[in-house]
Chains A and B, each alone.
Chain A
């Protein structure tokens, strides 16, 4: 496994992890832009634009883009989050260059009006699909409630109305602001030749505009701390999402944060599993750590029989309170580590996964980490770091959102953030 990097004169960064024994090669453009970078009037434009990139360029119409990807048997797609828009393709090694060429081409889209209007309909359908799915909707509301006026609360999809109102010129303006070379990282991983790839990639992107893309309002937040109940009579289960602050992506505590989330709410063997799922009090319960540019948060969620909701909220609060006051055991930490290590190894065996991992690590940390380095970092996490995490972030400052058939729900009393015992300042 070897790593390469190159900074182009127009500001584009090209990086690659060569894995000669891989069966495939993957390539992707990571654009550092998402819903947090949108103005109110542009709500949903990042995601809509992601769709529009597949609608063609000067060289290809929409059908040709799809045909050319399918012609090389590519597994290709794109996604948009609060902070990133990523376009990727994985293929057999012999088609890696072709995939790079198509991706580089669609990164300079035509944004034709007719395509814009047609795709608008598809986006509205996508919003409709999510609106029929309360398990998904509750997360969108929860993020908004937690982040409040922080731009990370912006919805990725936007609303039906914001999409209807969006004009092609606004999208073009957003594109010109955000899709400039210095805001993009080209990433490759798997079985490919770096020199050939680099030469080709440089040639394909040489005309991309130089410039600076700013990201405003990079700051931490402890969240609104509010509680909100959204009644949805047509549903049967009650969904709950509780968010509390955590370290940002660039913090050295991110590894401890991931392990902490696992100890609290992994699918198997976690505290929430034993207190909620094993007993059948909730159908599912989960805690995951989400890291962003300058901010971070733990999302704890469960879904259950509506009657059980209040009691389950009490249980979750009690579990977090216990973690803060009593800490975790060496044994728990060791369990969480062995799960993480096994998952890192297994994910690392698939080139398509490596692309995302290598790309995101670069975007957030400007660093490369091999699978082994990643494992070593997790192995080194100790109880002291978990303790630091507990001490620095008010994990009981919960912002809670619930959606389901309940018309009334009382939020249990949350104990004051307790003094953390044995806290070691560093």
Chain B
């Protein structure tokens, strides 16, 4: 059964992509609007996040409670959240309820009430969210790592700051919505048991007259990088490490993914084996690939008791360095099967597919067929990974640690 992917870009710049999955009964819809925290005004960090909360509080003919009831009534699980580049409105339900979902989502995007009476409660929520980072040391260190490593504003935390929250007014929120909610750069992706023509007609009817200019280019300024420590009285020391990699769609992209998987692809991967299995240094250690359109990096994490922290950091850095010394055939074999499995098993989930096709479209301007991804995975070899890690051998790491003892960062 060949899978069907449909796509259409309307005259106003809005893109609709859909994947028909006849074997499921659910449907998932994702709407990403280019209004993420990278577009927050400098004096109001956190405004996109506040908007993503208040935007669900009434839209079109429904007030906040009515809207919530309408969505619950069709069993729609949903969320709206701000990311770096986008605000994402996500919903999953039975496919027969998809048309109703799209009606409600169109109201939320195009006709939100943004009720003035809710500003204070939404800001209260946002403030608590900022405060609660303090109670989650792992999250705190990873947010600090992103902020230090990635160019601004890409490394910013969507939650913003307490001062930023204070500055946010109802006017400013409305202005931010008007300015940044636009069809150009917005992607609606749908996956599940769906019919393309009626879907396209409905989206055209609801969003066809939506207007707005192009997405403004971001001005990036480099992150400061280097090493830093946050002092906090905790049981464990949290360690975050980052170094640059190639972007999604780069010719070396799959070699880079291969390299990350040699480090952290499964429990037989190098970090898990060397740091946890052989030395018992920690419970959690991993590396993963993280990307933006402009830049990409490998991000590593380890959390460990104070006494073991120095060794954990040293062993982890050594393993990253050792990549250039050689990659084994069996490692590559294992990681390729792992990648292939994830790719195929993803077909069981309308939610995963709706996400994946949107990612493809955002980065590449097209949705890659399975055969193409399969070919790319097949192209990974010990040679291709080795060539990549040699070319991108990190000269410098960004390292952030948190805990009651500062570590030595080597050379």
Contact surface of A with B, Cβ cutoff 8 Å: 21-24, 54, 62-63, 66-67, 69-76, 90-92, 118-126, 128-129, 131-135, 234-237, 268-269, 274, 277-283, 303-305, 334-335, 338-343, 345-346, 349-351
Is B391 engaged at the interface, CB distance under 8 Å to the other chain? no
| Contact sample, A vs B, 17 pairs, CB 8 Å cutoff | A63-B273, A90-B345, A92-B345, A118-B277, A119-B280, A125-B280, A128-B304, A236-B131, A237-B132, A237-B134, A278-B121, A280-B123, A334-B73, A338-B74, A341-B75, A343-B77, A345-B26
Please give, as numbers and ranges, the residues of chain B lying within 8 Å of A280 by CB-CB distance.
120-125, 128
Complex-state Cα separation, A62 to B265, whole angstroms: 17
Please give, as numbers and ranges, the residues of chain A lying within 8 Å of B330 by CB-CB distance.
67
B93 and A342 contacting across the interface, CB-CB below 8 Å = yes
Complex-state Cα separation, A372 to B349, whole angstroms: 18
B94 and A342 contacting across the interface, CB-CB below 8 Å = yes
Please give, as numbers and ranges, the residues of chain A lying within 8 Å of B348 by CB-CB distance.
22-24, 349-351
User: Known contacts A71-B334, A125-B308; can you find 10 more A-B pairs with CB under 8 A?
Assistant: A21-B23, A22-B348, A73-B334, A92-B340, A119-B280, A122-B283, A133-B137, A135-B135, A283-B128, A338-B72
Residues of B20-68 whose CB lies within 8 A of A:
23-26, 57, 64-65, 68
- In whole Å, how far is A88's beta carbon from the nearest beta carbon of chain B? 14
Given A69-B267, A125-B305, A283-B128, are A350 and B349 neighbors across the interface (CB < 8 Å)?
yes
Residues of B69-88 whose CB lies within 8 A of A:
69, 71-78
Please give, as numbers and ranges, the residues of chain A lying within 8 Å of B137 by CB-CB distance.
132-133
A125 and B282 contacting across the interface, CB-CB below 8 Å = yes
Is B204 engaged at the interface, CB distance under 8 Å to the other chain? no
Number of interface residues of B (CB under 8 A): 78
Please give, as numbers and ranges, the residues of chain B lying within 8 Å of A54 by CB-CB distance.
267
A23 and B347 contacting across the interface, CB-CB below 8 Å = yes
Q: Which B-chain residue is minimally distant from A277 (CB atoms)? A: B125
Counting chain B CB atoms within 10 Å of each CB, which of A69, A70, A334 scores highest? A70
Is B338 engaged at the interface, CB distance under 8 Å to the other chain? yes
Q: A66's contact among B76, B97, B266, B304, by CB below 8 Å, is which? A: B266
Complex-state Cα separation, A73 to B78, whole angstroms: 31
* B128-140 interface bits toward A, Cβ cutoff 8 Å, 1 = contact, 0 = none: 1101101111100
Complex-state Cα separation, A280 to B122, whole angstroms: 6
Please give, as numbers and ranges, the residues of chain A lying within 8 Å of B221 by CB-CB distance.
none
Please give, as numbers and ranges, the residues of chain B lying within 8 Å of A121 by CB-CB distance.
280-281, 308
* B101-128 interface bits toward A, Cβ cutoff 8 Å, 1 = contact, 0 = none: 0000000000000000000111111001
Complex-state Cα separation, A121 to B281, whole angstroms: 7
Contact surface of B with A, Cβ cutoff 8 Å: 23-26, 57, 64-65, 68-69, 71-78, 92-94, 97, 120-125, 128-129, 131-132, 134-138, 232-236, 265-269, 272-273, 276-284, 303-305, 308, 330, 333-335, 337-342, 344-345, 347-351
Please give, as numbers and ranges, the residues of chain A lying within 8 Å of B269 by CB-CB distance.
70
Please give, as numbers and ranges, the residues of chain A lying within 8 Å of B351 by CB-CB distance.
346
Please give, as numbers and ranges, the residues of chain B lying within 8 Å of A281 by CB-CB distance.
124
Please give, as numbers and ranges, the residues of chain B lying within 8 Å of A69 by CB-CB distance.
266-268
Please give, as numbers and ranges, the residues of chain A lying within 8 Å of B282 by CB-CB distance.
122, 125
Please give, as numbers and ranges, the residues of chain A lying within 8 Å of B350 by CB-CB distance.
346, 349
Complex-state Cα separation, A31 to B232, whole angstroms: 40
- In whole Å, how far is B27's beta carbon from the nearest beta carbon of chain A? 9
- In whole Å, how far is B99's beta carbon from the nearest beta carbon of chain A? 15
Complex-state Cα separation, A3 to B337, whole angstroms: 29
Q: B280's contact among A67, A122, A131, by CB below 8 Å, is which? A: A122
Q: B284's contact among A70, A129, A135, A339, by CB below 8 Å, is which? A: A129
- In whole Å, how far is A279's beta carbon from the nearest beta carbon of chain B? 5
- In whole Å, how far is A70's beta carbon from the nearest beta carbon of chain B? 4
A236 and B135 contacting across the interface, CB-CB below 8 Å = yes
Given A73-B338, A237-B128, are A268 and B78 neighbors across the interface (CB < 8 Å)?
yes
B334 and A70 contacting across the interface, CB-CB below 8 Å = yes
Please give, as numbers and ranges, the residues of chain B lying within 8 Å of A274 by CB-CB distance.
65
Complex-state Cα separation, A31 to B154, whole angstroms: 46
B25 and A349 contacting across the interface, CB-CB below 8 Å = yes
- In whole Å, how far is B257's beta carbon from the nearest beta carbon of chain A? 14
Please give, as numbers and ranges, the residues of chain B lying within 8 Å of A71 by CB-CB distance.
333-334, 337
A125 and B304 contacting across the interface, CB-CB below 8 Å = yes
B341 and A91 contacting across the interface, CB-CB below 8 Å = yes
B136 and A133 contacting across the interface, CB-CB below 8 Å = yes
Please give, as numbers and ranges, the residues of chain A lying within 8 Å of B337 by CB-CB distance.
70-73
9 A-B pairs with the lowest CB-CB distances in the bound complex, closest first = A342-B75, A280-B124, A121-B280, A73-B341, A280-B121, A73-B337, A70-B266, A283-B128, A66-B268
Counting chain B CB atoms within 10 Å of each CB, which of A118, A129, A237, A283 scores highest? A129
Please give, as numbers and ranges, the residues of chain A lying within 8 Å of B272 by CB-CB distance.
66
Given A125-B304, A269-B68, are A70 and B135 neighbors across the interface (CB < 8 Å)?
no
Complex-state Cα separation, A234 to B330, whole angstroms: 47
A132 and B235 contacting across the interface, CB-CB below 8 Å = yes
Complex-state Cα separation, A103 to B76, whole angstroms: 37
A335 and B132 contacting across the interface, CB-CB below 8 Å = no
Given A66-B266, A90-B345, A280-B121, are A125 and B75 neighbors across the interface (CB < 8 Å)?
no
Please give, as numbers and ranges, the residues of chain B lying within 8 Å of A304 by CB-CB distance.
128
Q: Which B-chain residue is minimally distant from A340 (CB atoms)? A: B75
Q: Which A-chain residue is minimally distant from B352 (CB atoms)? A: A350
Complex-state Cα separation, A73 to B284, whole angstroms: 21
- In whole Å, how far is B315's beta carbon from the nearest beta carbon of chain A? 14
A125 and B338 contacting across the interface, CB-CB below 8 Å = no
- In whole Å, how far is A122's beta carbon from the nearest beta carbon of chain B? 5
Please give, as numbers and ranges, the residues of chain B lying within 8 Å of A118 by CB-CB distance.
277-280
- In whole Å, how far is A31's beta carbon from the nearest beta carbon of chain B? 20
Please give, as numbers and ranges, the residues of chain A lying within 8 Å of B308 by CB-CB distance.
121, 125
Please give, as numbers and ranges, the residues of chain A lying within 8 Å of B93 by CB-CB distance.
342
Given A70-B265, A126-B283, A342-B94, are A235 and B236 neighbors across the interface (CB < 8 Å)?
no
- In whole Å, how far is A9's beta carbon from the nearest beta carbon of chain B? 34
Q: B73's contact among A132, A235, A338, by CB below 8 Å, is which? A: A338
Q: Which A-chain residue is minimally distant from B347 (CB atoms)? A: A23
A73 and B69 contacting across the interface, CB-CB below 8 Å = no
B132 and A124 contacting across the interface, CB-CB below 8 Å = no
Please give, as numbers and ranges, the residues of chain A lying within 8 Å of B68 by CB-CB distance.
268-269
